[in-house]
């Protein structure tokens, strides 16, 4: 997108929720051209623990390893390549995170873990009673920041 002549390269941001939140962080970390990353309820962190408890999309993998435990080490070794707690170490842009404290899919402590591992300038909004979604207050915060770019 930065190669398009109509794009202001000083105003590129990423924004997403759940898997999109994880992709927002990944895109920012890998591109080096992003002014700020916004992520609500990011998934894909603490993957070994998520598989062990069968959280969200990792329930089928939990069932697979219950049936075929001999593959556990290989699966967990492979998952480390996709764990956001490892990927976020590449992030240089400022980052903003929202943690929905009632999210049953991307559990709060998994999302907060990404925030804790972020080495760049960062901020977090903890939203009580927020389920698996972008809370209105975070959406309003992000849109207000967009307006000031």
**What digits encode the pLDDT tens for the residues 24-72?**
999 999 999 999 999 999 889 999 999 999 988 899 999 999 999 999 9
Among 55, 83, 103, 113, the one annotated catalytic: 103
Strands in 36-40's sheet, in edge-to-edge order, are 13-17, 36-40, 95-100, 122-127
Active-site annotation holds for 18: yes
**What pLDDT is attached to residue 55?**
84
In the chain, the percentage of residues whose pLDDT exceeds 70 is 100
- What's the DSSP call for residue 5? T
Instruction: Count Cβ atoms below 10 Å from residue 144 Cβ, excluding itself.
Output: 9
- Give pTM, 2 decimals: 0.90
Active-site annotation holds for 103: yes
Among 3, 18, 77, 102, the one annotated catalytic: 18
CA distance 2 to 28: 12
**CB of 2 closer than 8 Å to CB of 12:** yes
Active-site annotation holds for 83: no
């Amino acid at each position: 997108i930065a190669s398009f002549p109509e794009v202001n390269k000083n105003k590129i941001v990423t924004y997403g929720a759940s898997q999109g939140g994880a992709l927002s962080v990944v895109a920012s970390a890998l591109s080096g051209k992003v002014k700020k990353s916004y992520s609500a309820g990011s998934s894909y962190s603490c993957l070994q623990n998520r598989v062990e408890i069968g959280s969200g999309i990792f329930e089928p993998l939990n069932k697979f390893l219950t049936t075929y435990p001999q593959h556990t080490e290989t699966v967990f070794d492979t998952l480390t390549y996709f764990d956001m707690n490892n990927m976020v170490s590449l992030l240089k842009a400022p980052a903003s995170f929202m943690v929905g404290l009632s999210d049953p899919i991307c559990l709060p402590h998994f999302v907060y873990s990404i925030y804790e591992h972020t080495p760049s300038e960062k901020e977090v909004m903890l939203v009580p009673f927020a389920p698996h979604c972008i809370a209105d207050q975070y959406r309003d915060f992000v849109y207000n920041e967009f307006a000031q770019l």
